[in-house]
Amino acid sequence: MTLSHDQIRRFARHLKLAEIGVDGQEKLAAARIAIVGLGGLGSPAALYLAASGVGTLGLIDADVVDVSNLHRQVLFTAADEGKSKVSVAAARLRAIDGSLDVVEHPVRLGPTNSVPILSSYDVVVDGSDNFPTRYLVNDVCVMLGKPNVFGSVFKFEGQVAVFRPPADPCYRCLFTESPERGLVPDCGEAGVLGVLPGVVGALQATEAIKLVTGAGDLLTGRMLLYDALRMRFREVTIPKNPACPACGESPTIPIEEDYVEACASGDAARTAIEELSPKAAADRKKAGAVFIDVREPEEWEICRIEGSILVPLGELPMRMRELMPLRQAEIVVYCHRGMRSAEAAGFLREAGFANVRNLNGGIQRWSWEVDPSVPRY
Amino acid sequence: MKIRVRLFAMYREALGRGEVELDLADGTTAAQVFDRLFAGTAYEKLPRRTTLYAINQTYQPPATMLRDGDEVAFIPPVAGGLA
C-alpha cells in the first residue's frame, strides 16, 4: 500500500520517526484491527488507532450508550444516549479520517460468531468487561494465532499485557480458570476512576501499533500493573505455561462451550431461589420481611431501601454469626440489579436460612416500580 | 526470615492495605502466606488457579518456598473495562 499525498501530510510526525517511517505507516494503512467492547478501554483505543492511520477497524459491541458511560467512554456525548455504540463510534471515527474503513459488528461476541468475526483481523484489542468474554477472546485468538492486546481495570488499578501464542504466553497461562461468580466484581458492579481506562486503553493502542509496525519491544511475557492512586507502574514476568489448557502442549479447552453468558445465567442454588417483583417485595416488607442489602458501602451511600441491613456480598461468610438469629425470619436480599443478591440468597439458603427471596432487578427496578425517590445509578 | 507481600485490586481491599511485612519460619511457601493472610475473608477458599503468584516480580508456582528478603505478590484477575 502506497501513501497518498494527503496521508503523507497527515502522518508527517509518524514518518519522521525512524521506528515507524513510511514503511510502518504503510503497514498501519494495510492493518485490520478488531476492538472488542467500545467502553472505557475501547473508546481511547479506537480513537488513537483511527487517528494513527490504521486502515481497517472492526468495532464489536451490542450495547447502547447510557448516561453513566460518559464519565469514561470518550467516544460518546450526551446526545448519543440510547443509540448503538458501534454506529455512533463508527461515525465519530470516520470523521477523524475519511479514508478509514470501519466495520460495524453490533453483536455480542459469543462462541459461534467469534471465529468468523475475529478471523478477518490481524490484531485483537480486548476491552471487554466480563470474564466469559475475556476467556472466549483469549481462546479464539490462541486458536486463530492472533495477537491479543489485553487491558483490564478495577477501581484505580489496571492490567495490560500482550498475549501472542504460540511463542508467548496467553491469558490462561496466568489465570488458568475464570474466577467463581460473585467473588470478583464485573458487569460494572465495581467503581472505576473515569480516566483510568483512558490510560489503559491508550497503552493497548500503543501495543497494537507496535505489533503492526514491528517497532520496539512488546509487552509479551510480562504483565504491566498500573496503580493510579499511588501512581506506580509495576511489572510481572510471565513464562509460558506448558500445561496451559489453551496454548500448552496438550490443550483441552473447546471453543464451543464453557462460556457462561455474562451476568445472565445462574447456578443451581440460584435457580432454586424465588424472585420477587418490586411490588411483591414491597408487600412483604409491609408484612415484616427483613431486607438485606448486599451491595458495597459506597453504593449504600448513594441510595438504599429504608430499614434494610447492609451486608456486602464479600463479607457475608464472615458475618453469618450475626445473621443467625434471622434464620427463621422472612428475608428479601437485594443489590444493584439482582445478580449479587441472587448469589447471596443461594449462600443463605445453603446455610440453612429457610425463607430467603431475591428482589428481581435490584434497587434499580425498585426505583422504577416502587419508589422513584430512590436515585438510579 | 522476613518477606514483603504486595497485594493488588480486590486483595488489597480485602486486607485494607497494599503491602504487608511478615516474619516467617523458614520453608514457608507462597501459598501458605496467601492462606494465612486471607483466612476468614471471602478469598479464603479461592482456587489457586485464579490468582497470579509472583516472587520478586516473576511468576512462580504457589508451592514455591520463600527465602529471606523475598517479595511475594498476589494478583487477582480483573475483568472490568466496558460496563
CB contact under 8 A, A131 and B83: no
The one catalytic residue in A141, A244, A303, A335 is A335
Number of domains in chain A: 2
CB contact under 8 A, A239 and B10: no
In a domain, A49, yes or no: yes
In a domain, A97, yes or no: yes
Distance (Å) from the C-alpha of residue A377 to the closest C-alpha of chain B? 12
Among A198, A218, A237, the domain-final residue is A237
In a domain, A14, yes or no: no
Give the pairing type, strands A101-105 and A56-60.
parallel
Q: What is the mean pLDDT of residues B57-83?
A: 88
A244 catalytic? Reply is no
In order along its 377 residues, chain A shows pLDDT tens digits of 689 999 999 999 999 999 999 999 999 999 999 999 999 999 999 999 999 999 999 999 999 999 999 999 999 999 999 999 999 999 999 999 999 999 999 999 988 899 999 999 999 999 998 888 999 999 999 999 999 999 999 999 999 999 998 899 999 999 988 776 555 544 446 789 999 999 999 999 999 999 999 999 999 999 999 999 999 999 999 999 988 989 988 888 766 555 554 443 334 444 568 899 999 999 999 999 999 999 999 999 999 999 999 999 888 888 888 888 888 899 999 999 998 898 899 888 888 888 999 999 999 999 999 999 999 88
pLDDT bin (cut points 50, 70, 90) of residue B49 is: confident
**Which pLDDT value is given to residue A10?**
97
Query: Which residues on chain B are in Cβ contact (under 8 Å) with A41?
Result: 81-82
**Which pLDDT value is given to residue A186?**
47
In a domain, A7, yes or no: no
The one catalytic residue in A141, A187, A244, A303 is A187
Query: Which residues on chain B are in Cβ contact (under 8 Å) with A339?
Result: none
Q: What is the mean pLDDT of residues B2-9?
A: 96
Q: What CATH number is associated with residue A73?
A: 3.40.50.720
Q: What is the mean pLDDT of residues B4-28?
A: 94
Write down the domain spans for chain B: 2-75
Topology of the domain comprising B2-75:
Ubiquitin-like (UB roll) (3.10.20)
List the grid coordinates of B82: 466496558
A273 and A346 share a domain? yes
A233 and A315 share a domain? no
Identify the domain containing residue A319 by its residue range: 268-369
pLDDT bin (cut points 50, 70, 90) of residue B82 is: very low
CB contact under 8 A, B52 and A38: no
A272 and A173 share a domain? no
A335 catalytic? Reply is yes
Query: Which residues on chain B are in Cβ contact (under 8 Å) with A220?
Result: none
What DSSP line would sit under B20-77, residue for residue? EEEE--TT-BHHHHHHHHHTTSTTTT--GGGSEEEETTEE--TTPBP-TT-EEEEE--
Query: Which residues on chain B are in Cβ contact (under 8 Å) with A223?
Result: 52, 75
The Cα A309–Cα A221 span in angstroms is 46
The Cα A82–Cα A67 span in angstroms is 9
The Cα A359–Cα A368 span in angstroms is 13
Distance (Å) from the C-alpha of residue B20 to the closest C-alpha of chain A? 16
**Which pLDDT value is given to residue A322?**
86
Across the interface, of A37, A178, A234, the residue whose CB is closest to B81 is A37
**Which pLDDT value is given to residue A203?**
98
A352 and A210 share a domain? no
A190 and A282 share a domain? no
Q: At what angle do helices A42-51 and A196-213 cross, to 10 degrees?
A: 40
Task: Count how many pairs of residues, chain A against chain B, have C-beta atoms within 8 Å.
Answer: 132
Across the interface, of B18, B47, B80, the residue whose CB is closest to A154 is B80
pLDDT bin (cut points 50, 70, 90) of residue B46 is: confident
The Cα A338–Cα A363 span in angstroms is 8
In a domain, A375, yes or no: no
CB contact under 8 A, B59 and A183: no
CB contact under 8 A, A236 and B58: yes
The Cα A73–Cα A373 span in angstroms is 28
**Which pLDDT value is given to residue A165?**
86
For chain A, give the number of residues.
377
Range in A40-44, B22-26, B68-72, B77-81 the model is least confident about: B77-81
The Cα A371–Cα A364 span in angstroms is 10
Residue with cell 428479601: A332
Contact A90, A104 (CB under 8 A): yes
A191 and A287 share a domain? no
CB contact under 8 A, A183 and B73: no
In a domain, A250, yes or no: no
The Cα A235–Cα A86 span in angstroms is 33
Query: Which residues on chain A are in Cβ contact (under 8 Å) with B4?
Result: none
The Cα B69–Cα B83 span in angstroms is 40
CB contact under 8 A, A128 and B54: no
Higher per-residue pLDDT: A350 or B56: B56
Query: How many CB atoms are closer than 10 A to CB B69?
Result: 10
